[in-house]
Structure 1
Amino acid sequence: MYSSPPADAPALREPRHVPVARLVRGEVTEGVHHGSVVVLGTDGEVAFQLGDTEVAFYPRSALKPVQAVAMVRAGLPLEGELLALAAASHSGEERHLAGTRRILERAGVTEDDLRNVTDLPYDPAVRDTWIRQGRPASRLAQNCSGKHAAMLYTCGLNGWPLDGYLDPGHPLQRAVAETVEDLTGRRVARVTVDGCGAPLFAVSLNGLARALARITTAAPGTPEARVADAMRAHPEMVSGSGRDVAALMRAVPGLLAKDGFEGVEVAALPDGRAVAVKISDGANRARVPVTAAALARAGVDPALLTPFAGEPLLGGGRPVGSVRAVHALDPVTQPARA
């Protein structure tokens, strides 16, 4: 049920991205990352933007909090770390595998019922250990297995067929699409298939930021608030113990954040301030400092964001430069309107 009728879908065209981060080595610009950034104020209005924030794009796994809200709206009873895992792009650590098994057990199904792709664990260190142990790729190890287990659980609770649960016409995926449109406030521009096999919905960067702001500002006990509370309480289940998104949520009180492949990140605070980032070439080394700069633009204390300001560029094993957000994102020289 829509809270209000969604507006027209964002335009389908090539995005007009602009420079958002630079690789500066020895005070010389060695490379430039293009992308787009939006910052929303507490009133939900755009406080700052760079690039093309209303064109349709694929948010990839940054949409998982919205998918989790759709499942909770449909009756998914998970809480705490298991609900966080339902919105996760996990690292494949043992706690992630154990949690996914618990969801499958509650659903009365097994790993064989999952229809995500098989893969090795996402975290490089976990993956290396997995390979040394001679363990094969599996659906359980793939980073979206928690979401897929929750999808099966939701289907079982509603009497929906388990077979074909990834079909865009399946009742589960229709419910997800409706929630995407409700929370973003716009019609879905295009539907394709994500890397894990689930339907993927094209939205705008503004719409993605608005959706996460809706989730973080929802009343206690609502599906939105339940998802936000679970993810914030268990950031290591949303990603992994060594991942930047978990560290960012631990560093900024009340922050909800989710990354996605191809350089996407969205983050929101309990008062509705939100940011969304898309890096054109998909580079994580640009995603992290640009997200940090956008959060500073939104009013987050820059001291909390120092660890995320940009990875060093090395020369002879020592730092000789860094990946830096562009000057226009600097909240000191360009005061935010939020």
Structure 2
Amino acid sequence: MNIPNSLASYERLRSAPLTVNLNRGSSVESTHRVHAVVSDEKGRVLLNAGQADYLTFIRSALKPFQALPFINSGTAEKIACRDKGIAICCSSHNGSTKHAREAFKILWSSDLNVDLLQCPIPKGCRSPLEHNCSGKHSAFLATCKKMKWPLDNYLDGKHPLQLEIFRRVSELLGQPYEEFIAARDDCGAPTILLNLSQMSVLYAHLSKSSHADLEQISRSMVSHPELISGDGLFDTELMRRSHLQIISKGGAEGIQCMAKVGDGLGIAIKVEDGSKRAKHAVALHILRQLDWITPSALQELEEQILLLSPGVQLEVKGQLKFQQN
């Protein structure tokens, strides 16, 4: 990865973070600090606010890359998994019937039992298929069966599946996967500790068509935005209103990643306190600055996503700044 590692260079990649104020009437009630970065697929930081090297877990924004072994192993092709199935592998869905059905199709086509899923059963639900990561876990199991890898410990960080995911991510970043620090995500799968510039590089790669497997994944995501999160939720609604030109995938604790199809640019956002409302506000603020979406679409998203009580508003302060060589 072509990101400077000297202290002086890193200092150059730091600027004032964005702030998101929750205003009640004329008073500021809460403030969130937010770091954001835009990079290209070569690892060059083009714009940033705050620390481009801010270190945090990528959480569910890793999902499109966790789907790579499902594609590369030939599993998706073998079970005739089309764009909908690939999209559900990348999703953090809301557990609706249509989402659970797509995850189940992967298991059924692979002759696998639902009981093999190791994602939790959500509170008030009856099946792990209703968990927001069930698509990812179904693809994990299908891949393991195709490759004759163990099924009972597929979430172990040293399992061949997880090592293959680490290897593919390391290839995209140009960093040995042995250097990765991984930890258990809420669904039980490993997630990786990365800096924001690395996350934005991954999404820059996702936006390009130079990798056939990533192109297949990005096409599936934008072709079926309803499967990525759900009706009324940020990722789904943003992709719909961008006329399927923006790839959007959030993660827990204030992570949001985006890319524009074909541009080779990726965006990564981290809210220090993990606020969901702040990451959505900043995402729309950045999209406005980059002119990636029409003003009318932005207004619709703000009205739908940033739902607040009367007299309360979110205000984003600051701008992404261009880097100078």
The TM-score with structure 2 as length reference comes to: 0.85
Match status 1:108 vs 2:108: no
Give the match for residue 224 of structure 2.
234
The separation in 2 between residues aligned to 1:313 and 1:6, in whole angstroms, is 39
Q: Which of residues 117, 120, 135 is equivalent to 2:120?
A: 117
Shift of 1:261: 0.9
Structure 2 counterpart of 1:248, one-letter code: L
Q: Contact 2:43–2:198 at 8 Å: present in 1 too?
A: no
- Rounded Cα–Cα distance in structure 2 between residues aligned with 1:208 and 1:327: 21
Name which of 86, 90, 93 aligns with 1:83.
86
Distance 1:54 1:76, change over 3 A: farther
| 1:305 corresponds to 2:294 | no
Kept in 2, the 8 Å contact 1:39–1:297? The answer is no
Query: Is the CA contact 2:45–2:323 (under 8 Å) kept in the aligned structure 1?
Result: no
Distance 1:160 1:16, change over 3 A: farther
Partner residue in 1 for 2:8: none
Alignment check: 8 A CA contact 1:185 1:207 kept: no
Residues 190, 43 of structure 1: CA spacing in aligned structure 2 closer, same or farther, 3 A cutoff?
Answer: closer
Deviation of 1:27 (Å): 3.2
What CA deviation, in whole Å up to 9, does each residue of 1:158-198 have, x standing for no partner? 11111211111111000011112222333454111000001
Which deviates the most, 242-251 or 27-36? 27-36
Instruction: Provide, for residues 17-47 of structure 1, a one-character-per-residue CA deviation record: whole Å limited to 9, x for no partner.
Output: 9443111222332211012111235875322
8 Å CA contact 2:18–2:319 kept in 1: the answer is no
Alignment of 1:280-299 (within 5 A): 280-299=272-291
State the alpha-carbon separation in 1 of the partners of residues 264 and 290 from structure 2.
10
Q: Distance in 2 between matches of 1:190 and 1:80?
A: 31
Asked if 1:277 corresponds to 2:269, the answer is: yes
CA contact (8 A) 1:231 1:238 kept: yes
Cα separation, 1, equivalents of 2:39 and 2:140 = 31
Matched, 1:92 2:61: no
Pair 1:295–1:234, CA change in 2 (3 A): same
CA displacement 1:93-140 (0-9 Å, x = unmatched) = 1001111111111111111111112214xxxxxxxxxx5xxxx44311
- Bigger shift: 76-85 or 179-188? 179-188
Partner of 1:140: helix, strand, or coil?
Answer: helix
Partner of 2:313: 322
Question: What secondary structure sits across from 1:250 in the alignment?
Answer: helix
How many correspondences in the alignment? 305
Q: Is the 8 A contact 1:275 1:298 kept in 2?
A: no
What secondary structure is seen at the aligned counterpart in 2 of 1:164? coil
Alignment RMSD, CA only? 2.7
Q: Of residues 208, 217, 232 in structure 1, which corresponds to 2:208? A: 217
Q: What is the match of residue 155 of structure 2?
A: 166
Change (3 A) 1:163 1:312: closer
Cα deviation, residue 273, structure 1? 2.4
Quick one: structure 1 residues 152 and 7, their matched pair in 2 at CA, closer, same or farther if it must change by over 3 Å? Answer: farther
Q: Counterparts in 2 of 1:27-66, with a 5 A limit?
A: 27-40=26-39, 45-66=44-65
Offset of residue 90 of structure 1: 0.8
Q: CA, structure 1 residues 107+312, in 2 after alignment: closer, same or farther (shift >3 Å)?
A: closer
AA paired with 2:252? F
Alpha-carbon distance between aligned partners in 2 of 1:326 and 1:302, rounded to the nearest angstrom: 21
Identity %: 30
Structure 1 residue 275: deviation in Å? 1.1
Which of 181, 184, 187 is equivalent to 2:173?
184
Greater than 6 Å deviation, 4+ residue runs:
4-8, 334-337
Task: Give the match for residue 248 of structure 1.
Answer: 238
Deviation, structure 1 residue 295: 2.1
CA contact (8 A) 1:38 1:48 kept: yes
